[in-house]
Amino acid sequence: MAFVAPTAEQLGLYLDLPEINGDRADLLIAQAIALCETVVKPLPDQATAVVLSAAGRAYVNPQAVSYETIGPMSVQRPQGSGGLYLTKADKSALKSLAGRGGAFTVDPTPADADPSPTYPVDDGYGPPLEYEPGWGWV
């Protein structure tokens, strides 16, 4: 099954907004998909969560405001919490969903490799064939 892009309605549900600007949401979703495809292409089926997360950050805080005061209310957001971007966790999730990342091994030995030695074998090297008790190999 191929990746299906989330809709503006799904972004509104994700953000718990009663109303959402459909055109703006569609643009942010398309841009978030393009951003995710810089990490993994094609996107895996389950990448919807990462796309919604990136688009949601940009929808809620497009100017990357970190501190805002309106009358007696003030809000402080984490540094870098606005605009359209992927976090390190987003990139890791995309790679994991695509089956990349984690530990792996590579065996460089060819399948038709012969285990016998390829160097010349010297028959005269090593201990002689006779063993004398108390003296060892002589």
For residue 13, the enclosing domain spans 8-65+79-97
- The Cβ of residue 19 has, within 10 Å, a number of other Cβ atoms equal to 6
Residue 35 included in any domain: yes
In the chain (138 residues long), the average pLDDT of successive 10-residue segments reads 85 89 90 91 90 88 69 71 79 87 81 79 68 78
Q: Among 39, 75, 81, 43, which residue's Cα sits nearest to residue 59?
A: 81
Alpha helices (H) along the chain: 8-15, 22-36, 48-60, 88-97
84 assigned to some structural domain = yes
Asked whether residue 118 is domain-assigned, the answer is no
Q: E strands, 65-128, where?
A: 67-70, 73-76
pLDDT of residue 133: 86
Asked if the structure places residue 17 within a domain, the reply is yes
Asked whether residue 116 is assigned to any structural domain, the reply reads no
Residue 85 lies in a domain: yes
- Report field, pTM of the whole predicted structure over 0.75: no
Number of domains in the chain: 1
